[in-house]
């Protein structure tokens, strides 16, 4: 069975939580494509050259917990504007999307560029303040002391960079279902997504 769920949206909108829940519910493989860009960003911070790092990426590199920091997120969105870097990461994502058994991919350009034929496309979003609040809470819980305003500025900066780049900018596919999670609980947001996937899920 080939079945792809594409989930796009800006930083900290809830894509990760929704993707993991959908993958679990329907027993699909899951790829957080942000980790690919984060791994390249981390390689650049470590002194590497972006394209060389992207070409040499190994799936095991994605398991590094250090990829979750703000500095790496920022570096990720900087390397993500480089068309050659994006091109180097395309085939891995396309293959993952069409793997046997079905897959959920979350990112910025899954429904638009990586898998325009995805059976289900969701665009998960929320206001910048809501998203910065969530990210701030996450960081505080992990023991990082960052001011809310700093996190908000970082989120807005990244939104701007992701939406305005020439190659594969962040945007909803014309046939995507938009889920605004600003006023939704996690359970409610997941329920909306699961319902949308269930409506397209192949009956066996
Ligand atoms: O978790 P969060 O939404 O903060 O970030 P992420 O999904 O891990 O993505 C980090 C950065 O990678 C984003 O700001 C984008 O610039 C880039 N990215 C991208 O360009 N295309 C994707 N499919 C996924 C991420």
Ligand 1 contact via 76 beta carbon (within 6 Å): yes
- In the reported structure, the alpha carbon of residue 18 is separated from the centroid of ligand 1 by a whole-number distance in angstroms of 15
CA dihedral 184, 188, 194, 195 (to 10 degrees): -100
Question: Which residue minimizes the CA distance to atom 25 of ligand 1?
Answer: 34
- In the reported structure, the alpha carbon of residue 76 is separated from the centroid of ligand 1 by a whole-number distance in angstroms of 7
Distances (CA, A) of 87 to 3, 79, 112, 147, 155: 23, 12, 14, 35, 25
Ligand 1 contact via 86 beta carbon (within 6 Å): no
* pTM of the predicted structure, to 2 decimals: 0.93
- In the reported structure, the alpha carbon of residue 204 is separated from the centroid of ligand 1 by a whole-number distance in angstroms of 34
Task: Walk along the chain (204 residues) and give the pLDDT tens digit of each residue.
Answer: 999 999 999 999 999 999 999 999 999 999 999 999 999 999 999 999 999 999 999 999 999 989 988 899 999 999 999 999 999 999 999 999 999 999 999 999 999 999 999 999 999 999 999 999 999 998 899 898 889 999 999 999 999 999 999 999 999 999 999 999 999 999 999 999 999 999 999 876
CB atoms within 10 A of CB 128: 18
Question: Which residue minimizes the CA distance to atom 18 of ligand 1?
Answer: 34
Ligand 1 contact via 109 beta carbon (within 6 Å): yes
- In the reported structure, the alpha carbon of residue 185 is separated from the centroid of ligand 1 by a whole-number distance in angstroms of 23
CA 99 – CA 4 distance, rounded (Å): 9
């Amino acid at each position: 069975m080939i079945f792809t769920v594409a989930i796009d949206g800006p930083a900290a909108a809830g894509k990760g939580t929704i993707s993991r829940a959908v993958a679990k519910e329907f027993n699909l493989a899951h790829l957080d494509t942000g980790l690919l860009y984060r791994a390249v960003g981390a390689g650049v911070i470590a002194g590497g050259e972006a394209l060389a790092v992207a070409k040499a990426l190994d799936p095991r590199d994605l398991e590094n917990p250090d990829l979750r920091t703000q500095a790496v997120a920022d570096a990720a969105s900087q390397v993500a504007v480089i068309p050659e870097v994006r091109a180097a990461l395309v085939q891995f994502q396309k293959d993952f999307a069409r793997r046997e058994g079905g897959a959920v991919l979350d990112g910025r350009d899954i429904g638009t560029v990586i898998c325009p034929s995805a059976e289900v496309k969701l665009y998960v979003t929320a206001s910048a303040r809501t998203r910065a609040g969530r990210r701030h809470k996450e960081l505080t819980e992990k023991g990082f002391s960052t001011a809310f305003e700093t996190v908000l500025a970082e989120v807005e900066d990244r939104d701007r960079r992701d939406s305005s780049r020439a190659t594969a900018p962040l945007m909803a596919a014309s046939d995507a279902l938009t889920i605004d999670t600003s006023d939704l609980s996690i359970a409610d947001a997941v329920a909306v997504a699961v319902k949308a996937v269930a409506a397209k899920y192949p009956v066996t």
